[in-house]
Chain A
């Protein structure tokens, strides 16, 4: 089954404790992206990657890091989480050279930073 898999589904942590949210897709998509969703705001892009070893900042990259060492994986790293990073996070992917293709989303990771 074609899917984007995120882990963990829920995560509670404390300020300053490094964490990684994993994202994996099995559709051989070139393009992958991370978003955060907060109440009253639309999804906002954090980082995106157009292919292996190619990443770029989205609209709200501060406090986040990403890497794209393999085509299928695109982890999101919070080196020193803060309470304002409490949010619902989504990973998404699609074929890069087809802008009208569907963007497939993962099921989300609900992060709480205390």
Chain B
């Protein structure tokens, strides 16, 4: 069964600190892995997209890594800000014949406090 599991489920950190979110997947055949940020009550917004051959991708203070051998990805947030408080969703795309299929993780709820 194709699955995407994220950890931790929730996390609280102080402003200015770094944090790392984890994503493990059993999806096959793999096409790409995406990280999305979802503010409460809003639609997810794309942070990074990585294909099989990419090990790391950055978007400002967000850096995603991918280990396709162990089927693990991480999202590292540097110098956190209050505006980083959101749910972070890992999404893995499966190659299919008629339009790729996305499998979503349940997200990590991050809260950044003063």
Residue pair A105, B45 in contact (C-beta under 8 Å):
yes
Which residues does chain B contribute within 8 Å of A107, judged by CB atoms?
Answer: 42-43
Residue pair A96, B43 in contact (C-beta under 8 Å):
no
Interface of B is mostly: strand
With A42-B4, A42-B106 already in contact, the answer to whether A100 and B51 are too (CB < 8 A) is: yes
**Chain B, residue nearest A3 (CB):** B43
Q: Does B98 contact A (CB under 8 A)?
A: yes
Residue pair A4, B106 in contact (C-beta under 8 Å):
no
Residue pair A106, B32 in contact (C-beta under 8 Å):
no
Q: Does A34 contact B (CB under 8 A)?
A: no
Number of interface residues of B (CB under 8 A): 25
Q: Does B20 contact A (CB under 8 A)?
A: no
Counting chain B CB atoms within 10 Å of each CB, the highest count among A43, A45, A90, A105 belongs to A43
A31 to B104, CA, bound (A): 18
Q: Does B60 contact A (CB under 8 A)?
A: no
Q: Does B112 contact A (CB under 8 A)?
A: no
A-to-B contact residues, CB < 8 Å: 4, 31, 40-45, 48, 50, 56, 88, 90, 92, 96, 99-108, 110
